[in-house]
Amino acid sequence: MFKATHVRSRAFFMRARRHRLWANCAGTAGAQIVELAITLPVLVGLWYGIFDFGQAFNLKQKLSDATREAARFASNQSTSDLTSTSTPQSILDVRNLVDSYLKANNVNPCGLGTSSGTQGPTYTWVFTATGCATGNLTLTINRGKIIAIGSGSNAVTLEATQVDLTYPYQWQFARVVKLIAPTATFSGPAQIPSTAIMPNIS
């Protein structure tokens, strides 16, 4: 009798102990903290990524507007001074227009307004502004861009102005990537390009 009661008591205590262990394992008291610790870096990275790409897209729009205005302005300028050995005044006016447009739209022109032009191929001048900490801004003005329209005997060529602008953009997302994954590599400043072409009127 005593032995049977002892066996039943022992079985009862073993079941009770297993129940307590299972209850402790199934508890959710600290689960929210663990979930937060895992998801918070991902959420911060996602937020920074959205913000950073939004900033880059906004900058791209401003650069597109600047090159379009510069090409429109340059295409209306006379080409009579383009044979000058120094940088022609009409080309300097285009450079100054881009510089003023960037300043008016709260974009650092990197010292473009004071940079000197280097003559490239025919009717092409290149300005390199080195005043940005993230890299160099490059403005290329080509007053002799040839555009072919149509094909065969109906082909027509037009002389146009092409303005190219590349701007150094430092991704802020790189800092967050280093926090989440210290061994990860992320490229440095990216060059955001913009191009506009307008047929020459003069």
> Which residue matches tokens 């790409």?
53
Q: Which amino acid is at 106?
A: N
Kindly tell me the burial class for residue 167, based on how many C-beta atoms sit within 10 Å of its own C-beta (0-12, 13-18, 19 or more). Answer: buried
Mean pLDDT by 10 residues, the chain (202 residues): 53 70 61 78 78 90 97 92 86 96 96 92 92 92 89 83 94 66 66 94 76
**Cα 28 to Cα 192: distance, rounded to the nearest angstrom:** 49
Do 166 and 63 form a contact (C-beta atoms < 8 A)? no
Instruction: Write the CA distances from 157 to 68, 72, 153, 200, integer angstroms.
Output: 21, 19, 12, 12
Task: Give pLDDT, residue 2.
Answer: 46
What is the pTM for the complete model shown? 0.74
Task: Give pLDDT, residue 152.
Answer: 76
Are β-strands 190-199 and 117-119 bridged in parallel, bridged antiparallel, or unpaired?
unpaired
Task: Give pLDDT, residue 101.
Answer: 97
Do 52 and 173 form a contact (C-beta atoms < 8 A)? yes
**Cα 125 to Cα 138: distance, rounded to the nearest angstrom:** 11
Task: Give pLDDT, residue 95.
Answer: 97
Task: Give pLDDT, residue 178.
Answer: 61
